[in-house]
């Protein structure tokens, strides 16, 4: 029965083009998603709707996602740093308007002094910032990215078979 | 000899490319930047000051806006004790039009800024300090003729809610200096808007 409901909801979601509603997490909840050890390559982008360089690079990220999303060994996460109180008024409308496909999660955790370093000690806290990881292998960049840059990092450092 | 000189130049230029800015204990440079009232402001102008709360901030960034009232309070609390706030907008208005000098004047009027709000028009100050985002704080202490970097980082630990702050990093750091102690922590991090530089 549960399975049927899940399938029904899944079909309904696909059929209506229902936009995603991001979950709100704290860092303790987010951290496991930044350390999965399952051979999948994860691309994690830290952004916000009000951050113009972040919004400018979203099309590159979507193009990357489109290129690799069929691949089971790739997953993209967009970690929004929008204010929690702006979830309904800004973040969800932005996702709908831009038909954002990759999963969006809203990180709301005030202890940034802890989690910025924990994500990458070289990160000063400016966004956008992008983390790519596969098992123990990690690549991090603070600042804007381009399609070519990310694509070549993925191809040369993550998708190559060892 | 030429070769050595060449390497010297190469490394000199490389190290400036990869400059990380100031570390705790470094001597900070003074500057002469245009204030919102049209005057040029340097830290050397503040003869009575014991030091400075230099904050790279701007008009448009939601984080900068969220902390604005707290920056005003910090100035009101600590200017009289010798630590005035000096706010500096490092952004290029061609990239971020909301951070133009005219808009700085507007914002300062709206909020009645009690501190200097300077424009790093040439974008020559923030890279030397190593600021990467707004807001980004450098707390300086006068030592003879020098300005020593004593604290770098965040204002406090809650951008969303001033009433829910649990760690007042910057105020604690100023209090430590006033008590003749070294700030601990001397460095903290917060999320901020990347500084918009000329492309």
Judged against a pLDDT cut of 80, whether residue B17 lies above it is answered with: no
Judged against a pLDDT cut of 80, whether residue B127 lies above it is answered with: yes
Is A153 part of any domain? Answer: yes
The Cβ of residue A28 has, within 10 Å, a number of other Cβ atoms equal to 10
Q: How far is A154 from chain B (nearest CA, A)?
A: 25
Is A36 part of any domain? Answer: no
Phi, psi of B78, deg, nearest 5:
-110, -15
Q: Are strands B136-143 and B51-56 parallel, antiparallel or unpaired?
A: antiparallel
User: Using CA atoms, how far apart are residues B90 and A60, in angstroms rounded to an integer?
Assistant: 27
Judged against a pLDDT cut of 90, whether residue A160 lies above it is answered with: no
Looking at residue B7, its pLDDT comes to: 47
Residue boundaries of the structural domains of chain B: 21-194
Q: Which of B133, B160, B164 sits opposite A126 (nearest CB)?
A: B133
What is the interface pTM, i.e. ipTM, of the complex?
0.84
Residue B177, C-beta contacts closer than 8 angstroms, at least 6 positions apart: B50, B51, B83, B139, B141, B150, B183
**What residues of A are in the B interface, CB distance below 8 Å?**
48, 50-53, 81, 83-85, 108, 110-113, 116-117, 123-128, 142-143
Domain B21-194 matching CATH 3.40.50.920: the answer reads no
Mutation site for A-interface testing, chosen from B191, B193, B199 by largest number of A Cβ within 10 Å: B191
A143 pairs with which residues across the strands? none
Give the tens place of pLDDT for each residue, B48-93.
Answer: 999 999 999 999 999 999 999 999 999 999 999 999 999 999 999 9
Average pLDDT, chain A: 90
Average pLDDT, chain B: 92
Is A139 part of any domain? Answer: yes
Is A108 in contact with B160 (Cβ distance < 8 A)? yes
Count: domains in chain A: 1
B160 contact residues in A (CB cutoff 8 A): 83-85, 108, 110
Is A84 in contact with B195 (Cβ distance < 8 A)? no
Task: Name the nearest CA neighbour of B50 among B144, B126, B184, B187.
Answer: B144
Is B160 in contact with A126 (Cβ distance < 8 A)? no
The domain of A135 spans 48-162
Is A113 in contact with B157 (Cβ distance < 8 A)? yes
Is A83 part of any domain? Answer: yes
The pTM of the full predicted model, rounded to 2 decimals, is 0.87
User: Using CA atoms, how far apart are residues A144 and A126, in angstroms rounded to an integer?
Assistant: 10
Looking at residue B11, its pLDDT comes to: 46
**What residues of B are in the A interface, CB distance below 8 Å?**
61-62, 66, 96, 132-133, 136, 153-154, 157-160, 164, 166-167, 169, 185, 188-196
Q: How far is B134 from chain A (nearest CA, A)?
A: 8
Tell me, what CATH number does A101's domain have?
Answer: 3.40.30.10
CB B129 within 8 A of CB B123: no
Q: Which of B185, B191, B194 sits opposite A81 (nearest CB)?
A: B191
Q: How far is A136 from chain B (nearest CA, A)?
A: 25
Locate the chain A residue with the closest alpha carbon to B96.
Answer: A52
Share of residues in chain A with pLDDT > 90 (%): 82
Is A113 in contact with B169 (Cβ distance < 8 A)? yes
Rg (CA), chain B: 17
Give the tens place of pLDDT for each residue, A78-137.
Answer: 999 999 999 999 999 999 999 999 999 999 998 999 999 999 999 999 999 999 999 999
Q: How far is A125 from chain B (nearest CA, A)?
A: 4
B91 contact residues in A (CB cutoff 8 A): none
């Amino acid at each position: 029965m549960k399975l049927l409901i899940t399938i029904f909801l899944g079909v309904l979601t696909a059929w209506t083009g229902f936009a995603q509603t991001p979950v709100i997490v704290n860092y303790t909840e987010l951290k496991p998603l930044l350390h999965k050890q399952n051979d999948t390559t994860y691309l994690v982008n830290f952004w916000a709707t009000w951050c113009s360089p972040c919004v400018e690079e979203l099309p590159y990220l979507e193009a990357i996602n489109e290129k690799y999303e069929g691949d089971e060994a790739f997953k993209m996460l967009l970690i929004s740093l929008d204010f929690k109180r702006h979830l309904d008024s800004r973040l969800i409308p932005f996702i709908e308007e831009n038909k954002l496909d990759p999963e969006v999660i809203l990180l709301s955790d005030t202890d940034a002094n802890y989690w910025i370093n924990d994500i990458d000690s070289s990160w000063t806290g400016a966004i956008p910032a992008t983390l790519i990881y596969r098992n123990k292998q990690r690549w991090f960049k603070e600042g804007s990215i381009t399609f070519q840059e990310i694509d070549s990092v993925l191809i040369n450092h993550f998708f190559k078979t060892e | 000899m030429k070769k050595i000189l060449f390497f010297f130049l190469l490394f000199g230029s490389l190290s400036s490319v990869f400059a990380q800015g100031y570390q705790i204990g470094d001597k900070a440079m003074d500057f002469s930047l245009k204030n919102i009232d049209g005057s040029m402001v340097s830290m050397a102008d503040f003869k009575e000051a014991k030091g400075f709360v230099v904050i790279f901030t701007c008009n448009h960034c939601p984080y900068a806006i969220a902390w604005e009232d707290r920056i005003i309070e910090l100035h009101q609390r600590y200017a009289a004790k010798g630590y005035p706030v000096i706010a500096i907008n490092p952004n290029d208005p061609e990239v971020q039009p909301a951070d133009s000098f005219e808009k700085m004047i507007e914002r300062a009027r709206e909020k009645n800024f009690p501190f200097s709000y300077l424009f790093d028009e040439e974008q020559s100050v923030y890279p030397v300090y190593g600021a990467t985002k707004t807001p980004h704080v450098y707390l300086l202490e006068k030592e003879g003729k020098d300005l020593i970097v004593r604290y770098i980082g965040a204002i406090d630990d809650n951008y969303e809610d001033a009433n829910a702050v649990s760690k007042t990093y910057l105020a604690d750091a100023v209090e430590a200096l006033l008590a003749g102690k070294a700030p601990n922590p001397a460095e903290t991090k917060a999320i901020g808007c990347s500084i918009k530089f000329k492309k």
